[in-house]
A = this chain, B = another copy of it.
């Protein structure tokens, strides 16, 4: 038996010791992507931005662009990154920048809703398990334009709808397409926040009507609150821009400047491969996530308490190799005898997870962040490997 520096006995010799007290609650309910911080530390000064007091003062950026508050270098950086990664078509598309994917999802729902004075609110659906925040984002203001209507797979109304397709899915990491079977008129929003090569093989260039991405989950810069949408229809792009205007009159130019800079550094690495001394971003981030998932599988396969579904392999056009997915979250299922996974985790293991009900499914499931600090992850492994099924 290995004894960690904090005196907590570890049943698994491969799990490093942590500085987290065994009595501390592990906050793994959020998806704060700090796992990639180490990479950016290694990059030293190359990603540093310097902003002078008199720069970036105007509301306006490029009045010839539909998204008038978007800096031209922001647009170019987004297009270049998708070109390098090959995960989405950007040619002849409109780009709309927002304060994170959250604001853009709401902007897209607004843009696709009927605007006639006497129209009924359009139904917004997503297949279970769906991202826990969609329902609140859609319902928080009791809009007369749109309303949450739950699970897309069981949508049977003969009324127009908007289906949000999250792929890879949050919480369960699966690749997805639309599932509504209604004959009614449907519109799609693709939330591709996790369609990056560290999380999942890039099997194709996505080319949907509205595709939403966020820098938070791409590089881990969640504090920048920067997302973007790639949009086919100019009228939709205009309405989304109008939404962001009415909601916040645009997006921080400091964030746009910094995100454009960091995207440029990533792309420089790939486009001038020979001269880069350090590991490239998606190689690093995939390696770290793969290591975490491999350690997780060791623990889960021995667990009498928890199970996690396996991911199929697929060929990744970006890394030129066949690979499994390494999602940003663990979608944990409790084995027979434990009905409430979230309560079990909190009460028995002092792990705060996001409960299955929040994702529209049974409390036997819970979501655990895979993108927190090393200490949090190792402490999680230790506690899970020590867990004994209470009905044993």
Contact B221 A57 (CB under 8 A): yes
A253 to B60 alpha-carbon distance, docked (Å): 20
Contact A99 B142 (CB under 8 A): no
A142 to B136 alpha-carbon distance, docked (Å): 16
Interface segment out of the listed A222-230, A302-310, A322-330: A222-230
Residues from chain B with a CB closer than 8 A to the CB of A145 are 141-142
Is A52 interfacial (CB-CB < 8 Å)? yes
How many copies, total?
2
A199 to B265 alpha-carbon distance, docked (Å): 43
A59 touches which of B44, B99, B222 (Cβ 8 Å):
B222
Q: Mark A82-109, 1 if CB is under 8 A from B, else 0.
A: 0000000000000000111011001000
10 pairs of A and B residues whose beta carbons are closest in the complex: A47-B53, A142-B144, A252-B252, A40-B54, A254-B254, A99-B248, A223-B253, A40-B53, A56-B223, A141-B143
A46 to B145 alpha-carbon distance, docked (Å): 48
Chain A residues with a Cβ closer than 8 Å to the other chain, count: 66
For chain A, residues 43 to 77, give those with C-beta under 8 angstroms from any C-beta of chain B.
43-54, 56-60
Residues from chain B with a CB closer than 8 A to the CB of A226 are 252
List 10 interface pairs A-B (beta carbons < 8 Å), by A numbering. Answer: A37-B57, A38-B54, A40-B57, A41-B54, A43-B53, A44-B53, A56-B223, A58-B222, A59-B216, A110-B141
Is A205 interfacial (CB-CB < 8 Å)? no
Q: A41-B54, A53-B265, A56-B221 are in contact. List 6 more A-B contacts (CB 8 A).
A: A30-B60, A47-B54, A99-B247, A141-B141, A225-B253, A252-B255
With contact pairs A57-B222, A223-B56 given, residues A100 and B249 touching in the complex (Cβ less than 8 Å): yes
Contact B249 A252 (CB under 8 A): no
A145 to B54 alpha-carbon distance, docked (Å): 40
